[in-house]
Amino acid sequence: MTAIAPIRHGGNLLAAVRRYARPVEDWLDLSTGINPAGYPVPALPADIWQRLPQDDDGLAEMAAQAYGAPHALPVAGSQAAIRTLPALLRPGRVGIAALGYSEYAPAFAGAGHTVVPLDEADFARRDLADGLDHLVVVNPNNPTARLLSADTLLHWRAALDTLIVDEAFLDSMAASSLAPHTGTPGLVVLRSIGKFYGLAGIRCGFVLAAPALLDTLADRLGHWTVSGPARAVARRALADTAWQDATRTALVRQGQRLAKLLCAHGLAPASQPLFHWVPDARAPALHEALARQGVWTRLFDAAGGCPASLRLGLPPDHEPAWQRLDAALGHALTDTDTDTDKTR
């Protein structure tokens, strides 16, 4: 039986506050890939708080149009779909990255599927889908930043019962989405309001798939899965194309700046606009050294044929934050290299 890795997430800043006895306001939290300059939520009308959510408020149609999909189902974040979808699929062998978002493997295992862990090198194989019934691909992958083409994904889809593509981080870049193909049975795409829009707290995401699967999923989830205020904010954010365009440009610029900063300190990141992955045997020591300076990163154990690694999200886009990160990296790397020399 395949051992399932424990579920871990970034954003656990209060754990760092307790462990290092540093107040929450004195941390530079880079442990998530969430946009630090999220969508500006306006004041909402009072009646939105007083009535039940309206499933026919146009949010599903607006999401489908925004993502270029035939159909969409609003859900309480991608998490609601991840936990529910496996039980709707025929039990079988499901390929899931060994180094990736940790919610998928236990969800599929709990629904009676056989989880097949995949190394990062496996995703370069044209025949990856052979011998699998289902495949989960986070695109771009969290944390390794691996980005696969639509052609590759559709090639694998032809050999599978179901291909699930998690595009939670795709909004921040100009890349091909599989959303336009989701009218075809056996293809499911997940999108999120949390990352690019910086609205993780409203717990709103979308499942893009053929109508039959969406209807079954909606019946399983029941009514009012997304709150009225969350639906109102999501509608505004999806409709604000000017904000989206400006934000995409800003995130690319900030991502390039963070990549250059990491390289300047001798690190070799794999980068997407919202996060940067640093595979490095020194990652546990760097994570600890940065935490002692109030910089909270996400540490990943060695997995999927990759060494231990760090993932860093973007700092707030103002100079003191960038200067603090620059200084912290310099101190952390010096301390880590000094400790390594002492043990030789």
pLDDT in tens, 16-53: 999 999 999 999 999 999 999 999 999 999 999 999 99
pLDDT in tens, 141-162: 999 999 999 999 999 999 999 9
What pLDDT, on the 0 to 100 scale, is given for residue 252? 96
pLDDT in tens, 303-322: 999 999 999 999 999 999 99
In angstroms, rounded to a whole number, what is the distance separating the alpha carbons of residues 282 and 200?
Answer: 30
E-state strands within 139-186: 162-166
Residue 3 CB: number of other CB atoms within 10 A? Answer: 8
User: What domains are there in the chain, each with its CATH number?
Assistant: 13-38+242-343 (3.90.1150.10), 50-240 (3.40.640.10)
What pLDDT, on the 0 to 100 scale, is given for residue 170? 96
What pLDDT, on the 0 to 100 scale, is given for residue 285? 96
What pLDDT, on the 0 to 100 scale, is given for residue 323? 98
What pLDDT, on the 0 to 100 scale, is given for residue 135? 98
Cis amide leading into 140 (omega within 30): yes
Q: What is the mean pLDDT of the chain?
A: 94
In angstroms, rounded to a whole number, what is the distance separating the alpha carbons of residues 72 and 240?
Answer: 18
What pLDDT, on the 0 to 100 scale, is given for residue 337? 66
3-state secondary structure of 229: helix
pTM across the whole model = 0.94
Cα first-last separation, the chain: 39
How many alpha carbons lie under 13 Å from residue 267 in its C-beta half-sphere?
29
What pLDDT, on the 0 to 100 scale, is given for residue 7? 55
What pLDDT, on the 0 to 100 scale, is given for residue 277? 98
What pLDDT, on the 0 to 100 scale, is given for residue 12? 83
What pLDDT, on the 0 to 100 scale, is given for residue 215? 97
| Regions of the chain short of the pLDDT cut 70 | 1-11, 337-344
Give Cα separations from 74 to 117, 199, 214 (angstroms): 29, 15, 10
Nearest to 73 by CA among 173, 190, 185: 190
